[in-house]
Structure 1
């Protein structure tokens, strides 16, 4: 199955299609898909949901999806990586801190239904998506606080809408919250140590390893290594140097990163770079 990758923290797109341009795929980023006009079906994991004008879908990296277009469809798409919000937490209002956007995107309870809003919220959603789409070619888009708050306002709308549907839901009790936390802090080794995670998520440190494997199907350390290697490979493909990658992921130096990479991929960093870097 095709896997789409994105290295930019934020990408905004607008397009009109009579036939969807991608086969069923997964991706490395989060995606908000808004339907301005048109109709069809959205295939997301094991669910099939009819869509029409003013509908919207949330897709996270664990998902596979594609769209079957019946009537020519006008799309607005907001795509962001883990880093977009994690690097801007100082700008985020306290009221939204516990409802981390990535956690909202990963909430499976909202992936098996057609998502709707009340009329006023729908109007606000439409305006916000249109504002973002209209600013997509701005050179300052990625660094713009205004753009960030526009994106954040989408999640304020989602939070408001979901509050009445899900009052009993506690994000930290959901196993998706743990994975989201790991993804956000993969660049900070001290925050993804078992001791810190066990304390943060109220899990016995001695039981943590068993808990993780039972819920996610892999030993904790193996999951961390696989995810980190996947991100490092993406940095290599994007042209970052060994020094830059070592600094980003908290390795002591280039040698530390090289040894880590070779041990887990059975190839040297230099060989992999030569083969995969454009």
Structure 2
């Protein structure tokens, strides 16, 4: 795999590179890419959002994403690229559908994909094992590498799934996954999120939709849409320089006061204060300097 290549020629490809500067400005691939930071620091850009990266971060770039890196300190990157054909090699069709759904719904989420703390040392170990297998080229190294790759993708899926509704489990019905997928695909188009539109698109009766969704996910359809949009607001506040009015326009809130009221209701703080507090937490030196002038 090469960061320059828009086409993947094998079900999965692996590359390990140490860089001082990241070549080019921005890329868009037609496959999934996992990028693990073995060492180094800098800034990750995904879809015009930014995230300060460091050792141990793992990023998932989906086919819809554009990305680049601004390297501050020399960085050791581990690239694992795979396409949907690799997922579909598995004979368990339920697994294939679930993985495809989960991975495709990782979009709109810049930053490290690892939300489960116990998975961070696990991923570090798995990446190290792949690098060793690739370097040593001992008997069965290809098969062992393939097994480790599948494990890494499963761990990533688990971390993405942590952000899905609380009642979503491995045996959840396919229909509710279709509903979630439709909502997330159309989150920027409110007219398509009306009950009648969802029902018409997915062939579900309006009287059945609400009860079914609540039973399967543990929250109402409207509550899920509100919470999902607020998570997108959080991501933009944390990882972009977008102004509040730009976020309001992108996510189709009525106006700034509407977003302020809603955000404060669910988060206990308004968006501007949230951004300031989180910035202070992430960059304490910026806010704790003593004025000696």
Name the CA distance, whole Å, in 2 between partners of 1:59 and 1:20. 16
Quote the offset at 1:21 in angstroms. Answer: 2.1
Residue number in structure 1 paired with 2:203: 204
Larger deviation, residues 78-87 vs 153-162: 153-162
- Which residue is 1:175 aligned to? 181
Query: Displacement of 1:176 after TM fit?
Result: 6.6
Aligned to 1:124: 122
The Cα of 1:6 is off from its aligned counterpart by 1.6
Distance in 1, Cα, partners of 2:89 & 2:54: 34
Deviation at 1:72, TM superposition (A): 0.5
Q: How does 1:124-203 map to 2 (within 5 A)?
A: 124-136=122-134, 138=137, 144=143, 146-166=144-164, 167=166, 171-175=177-181, 203=202
Q: CA RMSD in A?
A: 3.5
The 1-side partners of 2:74 and 2:129 are apart by: 22
State the match for 1:111 in structure 2: 109
The alignment partner of 2:118 has SS state of helix
Query: What is the CA–CA distance in structure 1 between the aligned matches of 2:183 and 2:147, rounded to whole Å?
Result: 23
Instruction: Report if the CA contact (8 A) 2:64-2:107 is conserved.
Output: no
Cα deviations by residue, 1:215-254 (Å, 9 ceiling, x for unpaired): xxxxxxxxxxxxxxxxxxxxxxxxxxxxxxxxxxxxxxxx
Aligned in 2, Cα 1:25/1:140: closer, same or farther, shift over 3 Å? farther
**Structure 1: how far apart are the matches of 2:79 and 2:177?**
26
TM-aligned CA distance change 1:141 to 1:60, over 3 Å:
farther
**Distance of aligned partners of 1:130 and 1:41 in 2 relative to their CA distance in 1, 3 Å threshold:** same
Residues 7-40 of structure 1: per-residue CA shift (max 9 Å, x gap): 1211111010010124301112210000011011
TM-score (norm 1): 0.54
Structure 1 residue 85 displacement after superposition = 1.6
Change (3 A) 1:142 1:38: same
Structure of higher CA gyration radius: 2
Residues 1:9 and 1:123: Cα distance change in structure 2 (over 3 Å):
same
Q: Could you report, residue by residue, the CA deviation over 1:63-94 in whole angstroms, capped at 9, with x for unpaired residues?
A: 1111110110001110112211212335x9x7
Structure-2 residue corresponding to 1:188: none
TM-aligned CA distance change 1:98 to 1:29, over 3 Å: closer
Unaligned runs of 5+ in 1: 180-200, 206-278
Partner Cα distance (1:49, 1:156) in 2: 24
When the two structures are aligned, how many residues end up with a matched partner?
178
Q: CA separation in 1, counterparts of 2:184 and 2:115?
A: 28
Structure 1 residue 175 displacement after superposition: 3.5
Give the SS at the match of 1:111: coil
Contact 1:38 1:53 in 2 (8 A): yes
Q: Which consecutive unaligned segments of at least 5 residues does structure 2 have?
A: 169-175, 186-199, 205-293
Which digits, 9 at most, give the CA deviation of each residue in 1:137-179, with x for residues without a partner?
65998962x3333122123323433444322565322337999
Q: Is the 8 A contact 1:19 1:68 kept in 2?
A: yes
**Counterparts of 1:173 and 1:155, CA distance in 2:** 23
**1:181-226: CA deviation from partner (whole Å, max 9, x where unpaired):** xxxxxxxxxxxxxxxxxxxx98239xxxxxxxxxxxxxxxxxxxxx
- Is 1:70 the equivalent of 2:72? yes
Residue 44 (str. 1) matches residue 46 (str. 2): yes
TM-score by structure 2 length? 0.51
